[in-house]
Chains A and B, each alone.
Chain A
Amino acid sequence: MIVRRAAGWLDERFGTNAIVHVTLKKIYPDHWSFYLGEFALYFFLVLVGTGIWLTFAFDASSQNAYASVLALADRSHPIGYVIRQVHHWAAVCFVAAILVHMGRIFFTGAFRRPRELNWMIGLCMLMLASFTGFTGYSLPNDGLSGTGLRIAYSVALSIPLIGRWAAGVFVGGNDFPTPQLTTHLYTLHVYFLPVLIAALLGLHLALVIYQKHTQFVRDPAHVVGRRFWPDYALRTIAALGATLAVLALLATFFEINPVGDYGPYRPWIVMNGAVPDWYAAFLEGSLRLGPATEFRIAGHPIPPVFWPGLVLPTVTFLFLLLWPFIEARLTGDRAPHDVLQRTTAVPLRVGVGAALIFDGLLLTIAAGDDQTAATLHVRLDTLVWVYRIALFAGPVIAGVLAARIAAEMRARVPAGGEPPPDAVLLVRNARGGYEEEGPQAG
């Protein structure tokens, strides 16, 4: 009754009912993998909600930050404990959800024309999510994150020509640590980066709605799916509930980032076996595998951290950013597509994806090379060289292998997606056995 009257009041003034009507009956294609991006969206909403609460409990000065987080990490304060835990778990899950969502977009060819721009926006959000995560994880000014910041400062310093300036902008001064470092990171973490993400997120979703969602159903002339209300809306509420439930369980029963164990940051103290949150680990790994050579250009040093710490992630980012155009050039397919592909449809893409995943995993594993070497009783130098060779040889082998497998699988299913006339369909029956359906089976 109240809803109806409020809707009527708004409709008289703004004509909103027509818009709401169109929105509610809009058709969305349905597939389980289309919910991956939604999980990322819900993690972001949780981050904003819990983050706002945390700003009231956190003291953003370098002197008091650690003590104020310790008070939150105290189990005798259940709300603060759970909210902070949810926030950190949501951050690591946010980056993971974006990455898995991107994997779906990549391997089904959803980034192809006309959706190249939305792919690029998504990739920028992945990078911003990692930066936001890193700045947030560094706010407590504890022993673990302080060391990570020191490394990041050194990487920023290594940029040719503008290194000192870039490092100075990053930490807000000409030294490490500066007294205002935490306040500086707080501004980045709480205002600048989340606002950028929110703006790109709005654009991302607006483009999905405007261009209409891709689908697996091979009907390029129509969107085939279910209405927003009630079908899709109820399922997305279920996805939201599931996201929140998983976060609540993780936060309550699995402690993350126990800063009390790390102690406050003191520049001359470091923990053994220190590794960052998972999404930054590949950079830690690449720094460990990087060369020790320092080049000089007209007397100016190029520090060794420049190559693994900056060139590698920048080149990877640019390559992925431009992938829709690179693939269009390599395959010659520049036509617009609204129908998704089987993951095996373009062997070249499968190979490139496999190569990137291989190196991503390898560098992440390399972040723990000291512990791996100790566990396996091998010399660390030996392990580093094995990793270095694998870093270049592995993606070639994995890529070629994956592309071959994709090509063979594709050969068995023609491009049209229709099975060959003599194919037999195996259908699993209620007892768990298989029955043939096809020409022979009749």
Chain B
Amino acid sequence: MTVALFLILTIAGALAATAAAAFQAPPSIFGGGLALAFIGLAGAAGATASAMRAPDDLTEPRTARGPTSPPPLPDDGRVTRPAFGGMWLAAIGAFALLGLVPLISLARKPGRASRTGWGAGVRLVDENNAPIPHDRLVAGAIETVFPQGATDLPEAPAVLIRGDDGGYRAFSKVCTHAGCPVALYRHASHQLICPCHQSIFDVQDGARNISGPAPRPLPGLPLDVDAEGYLVARGDFDAPVGPDDWDRVS
């Protein structure tokens, strides 16, 4: 009887879900129907299991699977030990070495791109590719900037900050810890903060890493103003961008 009720629930749920899908009903009807169908399935199987429960435990012998120690292979007069055993092993080893080649070649260009796009005279542009006039930011404001013409380079983004004294500072936006964007600025304490692992950099002290797991300061970007009054870089970042790696020997 219980089993029948659960099976009715299953049928009703499945039909409801099918109808919901056919008539583009909201997900709650489709998913709810599915849930009812599955609850019915679980209930019906569970109720059948209880009804058919075997009165007692049964047993089956357990035997250890090993050791089996089979007799040696029959000796039919041939030398069973393969000739040149060591050479066969060496050949297998050579194939294994060959197998590493495609794996290693998977890194298309081994190395690490390091072009930032910044250089002397390169204009700072914002997210919309617009150059930044020297009076655009008020004191305490920040803006994410890119090198004009190379905004897509992963190591390009920089954060531009106007200090209370009116002076501009710019630093790489790529955290030196794990490469997250250093996106938060706490104006009162002049701190740049990485939201990923809470590394904190002091903007007034060359973006020095004062707290958290970042191992070194954010690279600074030297700034200037060009003849038309737009902010430009005087050169590239003063240090390598982002987290270091084994091959970045400085």
Contact = CB atoms under 8 A, between A and B. Distances in A.
Given A225-B58, A231-B53, A174 B244 contact: no
Given A234-B48, A234-B52, A252-B35, A267 B245 contact: no
B26 interface: yes
Interface stretch (B70-78, B80-88, B171-179, B218-226): B171-179
B39 interface: yes
A268 B181 CA distance: 5
A153 B179 contact: yes
Contacts of A287: 177-178, 196-197, 213
Interface string A41-61: 000000000000000000000
A235 B215 contact: no
Interface in A369-413: 369-370, 380-381, 384
A27 B59 contact: yes
B212 interface: yes
A81 to B, nearest CB: 4
Interface string B45-76: 11011001110011111101110000000000
A271 B195 CA distance: 7
Interface string A221-241: 111111100110011011111
Given A163-B247, A230-B49, A176 B31 contact: no
A174 B59 contact: no
Interface in B208-250: 209, 211-216, 242-250
B117 interface: no
B144 interface: yes
B26 A75 contact: yes
Contact of A174 (B30, B45, B65, B111): B111
A155 to B, nearest CB: 7
Interface in B26-49: 26-32, 34-35, 38-46, 48-49
Of A79, A157, A162, A231, the most chain B CB neighbours within 10 A belong to A157
A270 B30 contact: no
A273 B104 CA distance: 37
Interface in B121-144: 144
Contact of A227 (B30, B54, B180): B54
Contacts of A150: 178-180
Contacts of B31: 78, 82, 85, 248-249, 251-253
Contacts of A304: 177, 213, 215
Contact of B110 (A164, A227, A380): A164
Interface residues of B, number: 78
Interface string A160-188: 11111101110011111100000000000
A82 B181 CA distance: 33
Given A27-B58, A78-B21, A253-B31, A164 B108 contact: no
A153 B109 CA distance: 16
Contacts of A174: 107-113
A173 B57 CA distance: 59
B157 A267 contact: yes
A234 B34 CA distance: 20
Given A78-B29, A267-B154, A270-B183, A369 B198 contact: yes
B242 A154 contact: yes
B70 to A, nearest CB: 18
A268 B179 CA distance: 10
A338 interface: yes
A151 to B, nearest CB: 4
Contacts of B111: 164, 168, 174
A63 interface: no
Interface in A138-160: 147, 150-151, 153-155, 157-160
A294 B245 CA distance: 10
A202 interface: no
A230 B52 CA distance: 8
A240 B29 CA distance: 22
Contacts of A173: 107-109
A291 B213 CA distance: 6
Nearest to A223: B60
A148 to B, nearest CB: 9
Nearest to B248: A301
B197 A168 contact: no
B25 A78 contact: yes
Contact of A79 (B21, B54, B157): B21
Interface string A283-321: 010011011111000011111110001000000000000
A26 interface: yes
A153 B52 CA distance: 55
B106 A157 contact: no
A263 B58 CA distance: 59
Interface string A255-272: 000000000000111111
Contacts of A292: 177, 199, 209, 212-215
B5 interface: no
Contacts of B40: 241
Contact of B243 (A158, A220, A249): A158
Contacts of A271: 195
A217 interface: yes
Contacts of B120: none
B12 interface: no
Interface of B: 20-21, 24-32, 34-35, 38-46, 48-49, 52-54, 57-62, 64-66, 103-104, 106-113, 144, 154, 157, 173, 177-181, 183-184, 195-199, 209, 211-216, 242-250
Q: Which 9 A-B pairs have the closest CB atoms?
A: A252-B31, A241-B42, A168-B107, A241-B41, A245-B38, A234-B49, A248-B35, A294-B215, A268-B157
Given A85-B27, A173-B107, A268-B181, 17 more contacts: A78-B21, A164-B246, A173-B109, A222-B60, A223-B61, A231-B49, A234-B45, A241-B41, A245-B38, A248-B31, A288-B198, A294-B216, A301-B249, A305-B178, A305-B243, A380-B211, A381-B211
Interface of A: 26-27, 75-76, 78-79, 81-82, 85, 114, 147, 150-151, 153-155, 157-165, 167-169, 172-177, 210-212, 217, 219-227, 230-231, 234-235, 237-242, 244-245, 248-249, 251-253, 267-274, 284, 287-288, 290-294, 299-305, 309, 336, 338, 369-370, 380-381, 384
